[in-house]
């Protein structure tokens, strides 16, 4: 069996169709989420959980050094329950309920005990954001770097050659959208069509004009996408925002190869090779569309 909590592995993992196939073979899949994601399509049991608007919690980030409290704004909607409540009920049935017992505030005090020792109490945190007392204002403020020279060293060469495949001449680049976080969006906010951006060179070599539909293909999958020509995109690149739903014709990771990175043993999301194949001609309505340019595009929505 598999218990999925706080994630959408079918949509967010490389080679999404392979992941979906693995889940399909399991006898029992439980998914805890606030929305019916691509992963919930393979769940035998779906447990609705609360959002941050309905629970007490605390947030930290790797993008800044601020600690923030989360206070509930509304009561849990419908039959939704917090992750903590779900795990506590499961612990009761498995015989170690006492180990998981406690109100959210009790658990926050346990987890944030290191901050308590630095003079930051949970009660104070829930009143407003606080700068993390153990986080530096800037990285390497002491100017001590973990390098052989002890100084900052610029990379001037890469020993490993980039992957290449004559059948898949383009590099597939996935980026975060400013309109949604990963795959978290409302169904009404989902783009009507999956789209990619390419530069002038790729468009010309592929014989695809702005607004035309094409087949984006890799060795592991393919998608039907609208091609948007953007002069700012570099040569040999196809850019697609990550997080669109497979059930709505999107899902960038349907294309992403399931390979390991050279360092860190992580998913190599940026190493997939793809090709673009024209599948449709433009409709008369598309003729009015123009190539994207910095003057005509809201830079806040472009990645």
Give me the number of domains the chain comprises: 2
Residue 255's Cβ-count burial label (10 Å; 0-12, 13-18, 19+) is buried
**Domain assignment of residue 16, yes or no:** yes
183 and 271 both lie in a single domain:
yes
Is 69:58 a contact under the CB 8 Å cutoff?
A: yes
Q: By three-state DSSP, how is residue 39 classified?
A: helix
Helical (H) or strand (E) element with 59? strand 57-59
**Domain assignment of residue 141, yes or no:** no
The predicted structure's pLDDT at residue 299: 33
Helical (H) or strand (E) element with 171? strand 170-175
**Domain assignment of residue 151, yes or no:** no
**Domain assignment of residue 138, yes or no:** no
192 and 84 both lie in a single domain:
no
pLDDT at 85 over 60: yes
Comparing 112 with 298, the larger pLDDT belongs to 112
Phi/psi of residue 173, each to 5°? -115, 120
The predicted structure's pLDDT at residue 72: 96
What CA–CA distances, in Å, run from 2 to 32, 42, 218? 11, 11, 28
Q: Any idea what the CATH number is for the domain that residue 188 is in?
A: 2.40.40.20
Instruction: Give the residue among 24, 49, 25, 52 at the shortest CA–CA distance from 39.
Output: 24
Residues 220, 221, 225, 227, Cα dihedral to 10°: 20
Is 255:20 a contact under the CB 8 Å cutoff?
A: no
293 and 188 both lie in a single domain:
yes
Instruction: Give the residue among 201, 197, 232 at the shortest CA–CA distance from 211.
Output: 197
Instruction: Give the residue among 141, 251, 248, 78 at the shortest CA–CA distance from 240.
Output: 251
- Of 131, 162, 192, which marks where a domain is finished? 131
**Domain assignment of residue 160, yes or no:** no
Question: What range does the domain containing 184 cover?
Answer: 170-301
Q: How confident is the model at residue 281 (pLDDT cuts 50, 70, 90)?
A: low
**Domain assignment of residue 280, yes or no:** yes
Buried-state track 8-37, b at ≥16 Cβ within 10 A, e below 16: bbbbbbbbbebbbeebeeeeebbbbbeeeb
What are the pLDDT digits (tens) for 186-239?
888 999 999 999 999 999 999 999 999 999 999 999 999 999 999 999 999 999
**Domain assignment of residue 137, yes or no:** no
Mean of the per-residue pLDDT values of the chain: 89
Helical (H) or strand (E) element with 182? none
Q: Choose the weakest-confidence range: 29-38, 77-86, 101-110, 135-144.
A: 135-144
103 and 197 both lie in a single domain:
no
Q: Choose the weakest-confidence range: 7-21, 104-118, 132-146, 205-219.
A: 132-146
**Domain assignment of residue 110, yes or no:** yes
13 and 93 both lie in a single domain:
yes
Q: Any idea what the CATH number is for the domain that residue 41 is in?
A: 3.40.50.740
Helical (H) or strand (E) element with 122? helix 122-125
């Amino acid at each position: 069996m598999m218990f999925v909590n706080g994630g959408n592995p079918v949509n967010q993992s490389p080679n999404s169709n392979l992941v979906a196939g693995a889940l399909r073979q399991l006898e029992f899949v439980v998914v805890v989420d606030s929305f019916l994601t691509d992963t919930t399509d393979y769940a035998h049991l779906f447990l609705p959980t609360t959002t941050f608007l309905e629970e007490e919690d605390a947030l930290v980030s790797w993008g800044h050094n601020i600690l923030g409290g989360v206070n509930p704004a509304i009561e849990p909607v419908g039959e939704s329950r917090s992750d903590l409540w779900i795990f506590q009920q499961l612990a009761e049935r498995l015989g170690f309920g006492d180990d998981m017992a406690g109100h959210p505030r009790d658990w926050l005090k346990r987890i944030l005990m290191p901050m308590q020792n630095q003079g930051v109490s949970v009660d104070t945190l829930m009143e407003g954001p606080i700068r993390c007392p153990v986080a530096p204002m800037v990285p390497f403020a002491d100017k001590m770097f973990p390098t052989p020279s002890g100084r900052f060293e610029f990379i001037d060469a890469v020993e490993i050659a980039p992957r290449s495949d004559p059948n898949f001449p383009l590099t597939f680049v996935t980026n975060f959208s400013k309109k949604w976080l990963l795959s978290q969006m409302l169904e009404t906010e989902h783009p009507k069509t999956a789209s990619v951006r390419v530069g002038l060179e790729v468009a010309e070599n592929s014989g695809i004009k702005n607004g035309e539909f094409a087949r984006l293909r890799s060795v592991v999958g393919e998608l039907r996408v609208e091609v948007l020509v953007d002069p700012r995109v570099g040569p040999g690149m196809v850019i697609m925002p990550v997080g669109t739903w497979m059930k709505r014709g999107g899902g960038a990771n349907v294309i992403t190869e399931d390979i390991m990175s050279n360092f860190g043993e992580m998913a190599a999301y940026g190493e997939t090779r793809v090709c673009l194949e024209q599948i449709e001609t433009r409709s008369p309505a598309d003729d009015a569309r123009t190539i994207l340019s910095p003057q005509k595009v809201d830079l806040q929505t472009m990645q």
